[in-house]
Amino acid sequence: MKTSSAPFGAGWLLRMSPQKQDTLLKLMILTIAAVLAFSTRLFSVLQFESVIHEFDPYFNYRTTLFLAEKGFYNFHNWFDDRAWYPLGRIIGGTIYPGLMVTSAAIYNILNFINITINVRNVCVFLAPLFASFTTVVTYLFTRELKDAGAGLVAASMLAIVPGYISRSVAGSYDNEGIAIFCMLLTYTLWVKAAKTGSLFWSVLCALAYFYMVSSWGGYVFLINLIPLHVLILMFTGRFSHRIYVAYSSVYCIGTILSMQIAFVGFQPVQSSEHMAALGVFGLCQIHAFVDYLRSKLSVEQFNLLFKSLVLISGSVMFGAAAVATAAGKISPWTGRFYSLLDPSYAKNNIPIIASVSEHQPTAWSSFYFDLQLLVFMFPVGLYYCFSKLTDANIFIIIYGVTSIYFSGVMVRLMLVLAPVMCILSGIGVSSVLNTYMKNLDVSTKKDKKQKKSDNTYPLKNEIATGVIMIMTSFLIMYTFHCTWVTSEAYSSPSIVLTARGGDNGKIIFDDFREAYYWLRQNTHYNAKIMSWWDYGYQITAIANRTVLVDNNTWNNTHISRVGQAMASTEDKAYEIMRELDVDYVLVIFGGLTGYSSDDINKFLWMVRIGGSTDRGSHIKEADYYTPQGEFRVDKDGSPILLNCLMYKMCYYRFGSVYTEGGKPTGYDRVRNTEIGNKDFELEVLEEAYTTEHWLVRIYKVKNLENRGI
């Protein structure tokens, strides 16, 4: 105990009533958990620097910057002409603004009270901040379900669970970072509302739901889960006035509020994903009405009325649904929805869904990797919930079972699963500890004798010690596992790369930002940059230059046009580049450093997408393979590949560079071959800039000749 070193503090502590001590202890544990949640997410800042990660966060950062500078109305009406040149993009109406509004608000408040912080730092640290909020909310939620002890365990587990950290490390400034907080807050308030049946909690729940809708498209899960809860309560005969008040008000206020988000619009009353909520709302009214009638009528009258009512309302509903679907008012089931229900649907029918790595199914090892001991503590917690069923427990059971199903289908939904895993595991762990801590005989001897008489068995103390030790070691292992996973697997920003050097030191490749800053400093403000769409967000955000395509892949033909330019010969590509007013072309090349996700490895996608539209029908994937069907860049490679624009831009001057000892010049370290076309000059382009490790190469498009020939 730390009291020994500070007698003054101990005296102060002992003078407090047990209740106050209890509160203080809970507060301390919760604070520590929240601080831990924040600090464990700072690995990336410590290993690199305070930098925004990956691709989408750069877009969010740029929009936040705009919002903080220009105000909300300009943001809402923002037409972005720096992307998708010459089409542009309406930003205000096509994004979930919750994230940007949150960070802009934090930025403005902090600056108002004279804490000067810039927007970038707000963005970088927003996700960790909200993770510690989530920790607190988890405590509150679990306390509603079981007790404060379970809440503390769940909160501490959630603070470091890798499944959640993967999307909320410092710098990964994305919607999911705050959405999990919103989701758990909504659930907490919903359970509270369902328990009390008070309008106050219901309205708060609707407001939390509004915040959730404004920040993430995953709110659809939420608006289906709550109705499902109500439905199951109806089936189990637990429906009451409390549930009626709670659900009716949450649904009405929540739906009206959610329709205020421009991107959501009229979907809550039109699309089929929201129809379950509407249906249950109607069912609620009918159920309440039937209950009212039953209390007023005799049994026979009631039965007759009930039957005819069911028949009429059923046929009317069916007819209305059929008419609305036929008229196209209710949008048909979207592919993403089907892929959740029947996992093989997407695989067979929608290649774009199947191809995205986040949409892959989850192997058992990734469950274990992301959740460790939660994998088997979760069912234990579920067992406890089943043994003591309440309205709230039913909710958490439904949440657990549905989310584990969805996360099994899509690895990305691990994020939704992680909180409920922590909550149920917290319940499980705390129940086991609660049971056996009591058996642990540390009390005085006379106490022991008293107890032995009524409820005990031989070796009780020893077994209890064993259980406590095992639980302790499990929790310690969990901590080590989570910390390791966070620091090694989930904390790389992907815009700054690292590699292990020969002397086991860390080498940092900061070429991306080098190139983007070069563009920012050395090109005309209105210069148009052509690159593959992956780098669009980063170029607009860091270099502040206009791009043709970016990560919001809304226009396939436009992307296809860029793909055609990359896959064509120089003179063909020049026509396309003149048509699109391109000033600079940017390619990512990993051949010198061995960075494998470079443009040559993505090139086949460019060819495929380029050839997928009418104007690119002359581009055939087969032409880029050797007769044996291999994709290779050495001498045996297809001559069309060796002369296309992408190849030339990547390997310009590369033929005279030594990359590895014992290998000839022009040895590509990703493909592990000597390149086939070494000695060539560029005709319509000139090299403008190549970064230190050749990761990014920028070319300037030459102007037309002064005089025609």
Partner 1 sequence: MSAMSYLFTVLALLICISVTDSVYKKKEDSLSDKVSQLTEWNNKKSVIRLTGDKFRELVKTPPKNYSVIVMLTALQSKRQCSVCKQANDEYLILANSWRYSQQFSDRLFFTMVDYDEGPDVFQSLKLNTAPVFMHFPAKGKPKKGDTMDIHRVGFAAEQIARWVQERTDIQVRVFRPPNYSGTLALALLFSLIGGLLYLKRNNLEFLYNKTSWGIGALAIIFAMTSGQMWNHIRGPPLMHKNPQTGQMHYVHASSQGQFIMETYIVMLLNTAVVVGFIMLNEAHTMKSDGRKKRIMALVGLGCVAIFFSLLLSVFRSKYQGYPYR
Q: d(Cα 101, Cα 93) in Å, to the nearest integer?
A: 14
Would the CA dihedral through 313, 318, 324, 330 be positive or negative? positive
Contact present, 563 and 555 (Cβ < 8 Å): no
| 612 CB-near residues (< 8 Å, 6+ apart) | 556, 560
Cβ 148 to partner 1, closest distance in Å? Answer: 20
Nearer to partner 1, 462 or 660 (CB): 462
Secondary structure of 107-137 as H, E, C letters:
HHHHHHCCCCCCHHHHHHHHHHHHHHHHHHH
Helix axes 119-145, 414-439, angle to 10 degrees: 50
Task: Compute the least distance from the CB of residue 705 to partner 1, in Å.
Answer: 41
CB 462, min distance to partner 1, A: 9
Tokens of 339: 């892929």
Peptide bond into 86 cis (omega under 30): yes
Q: Which of 374, 375, 415 is nearest to 163 (CA)?
A: 415
Question: Taking phi first (over 0 means left), then psi (-120 to 50 degrees means alpha), and beta for anything else, what does residue 588 get?
Answer: beta
- How near is the Cβ of 488 to partner 1 at its closest, in Å? 7
Alpha carbon 21 to its chain's center:
39
CA angle 625, 627, 632 (to 5 degrees): 40
CB atoms within 10 A of CB 117: 12
CA distances from 682 to 160, 646, 699 (A): 52, 12, 10
Beta carbon nearer to partner 1, 371 or 529:
371
CB-wise, 279 or 408, nearer to partner 1? 408
For residue 496, the minimal CB distance to partner 1 (Å) is 23
**Which residue lies nearer to partner 1 by CB, 501 or 627?**
627
Nearer to partner 1, 187 or 625 (CB): 625
DSSP 522-586: HS-TT-EEE--GGGHHHIIIII--EES--SS---HHHHHHHHHHHHS-HHHHHHHHHHTT--EEE
Minimum CB distance to partner 1, residue 477 (Å): 8
Q: Of 292 and 376, which CB lies nearer to partner 1 in the complex structure?
A: 376
Residue 130 near residue 212 (C-beta atoms within 8 A): no
Provide the 8-state DSSP code for 438.
H
Distance CA 247, CA 282 (A): 11
Helix (H) or strand (E) segment spanning residue 588: strand 584-588
We find the least distance from the C-beta atom of residue 230 to partner 1, in angstroms, to be 17
The CB-of-625 to partner 1 minimum distance in angstroms stands at 7
For partner 1, the closer of residues 348 and 555 by Cβ is 348
What whole-number distance in Å separates Cα of residue 590 and Cα of residue 599?
Answer: 8
Query: What CA–CA distance (Å, rounded) separates 547 from 209?
Result: 36
User: Which one, 377 or 696, has the nearer CB to partner 1?
Assistant: 377
The CB-of-91 to partner 1 minimum distance in angstroms stands at 36
Task: Please give the distance of CA 356 from its chain centroid, rounded to a whole number.
Answer: 14
Determine the 3-state secondary structure of 694 from DSSP. coil
Which C-beta is closer to partner 1: that of 320 or that of 622? 622
| Residues in touch with partner 1 (CB under 8 A) | 236, 343-344, 347, 361-369, 375-380, 382-384, 386, 389, 397, 400-401, 404-405, 407-409, 428, 431-432, 435-436, 439, 456-460, 463, 466-467, 470, 474, 480-481, 484, 488, 622, 625, 627, 629
| CA 376 – CA 368 distance, rounded (Å) | 10
Q: Rounded to whole angstroms, how far apart are CA atoms 136 and 670?
A: 46
Q: By three-state DSSP, how is residue 305 classified?
A: helix
Q: Which residues pair with 507 in a beta bridge?
A: 499
CA distances 403 to 178, 337, 400, 543, Å, are: 18, 14, 5, 40
> CA triplet 175, 176, 181: central angle to 5 degrees?
110
Q: Which residue has tokens 């300037």?
A: 700
Contact 644, 571 (CB under 8 A): no
Rounded Cα gap, residues 432 and 28, in angstroms: 23
Residue that has been written with the tokens 């739906």 in this structure: 255
Please enumerate in sequence order all residues whose Cβ is within 8 A of that of 279, keeping only pairs 6 or more positions apart, or say none: 227
- Smallest gap from Cβ 435 to partner 1, in A, equals 5
Count the alpha carbons within 13 Å of 634 in the hemisphere toward its beta carbon.
12
Q: From the CB of 653, what's the least distance to partner 1, in Å? A: 32
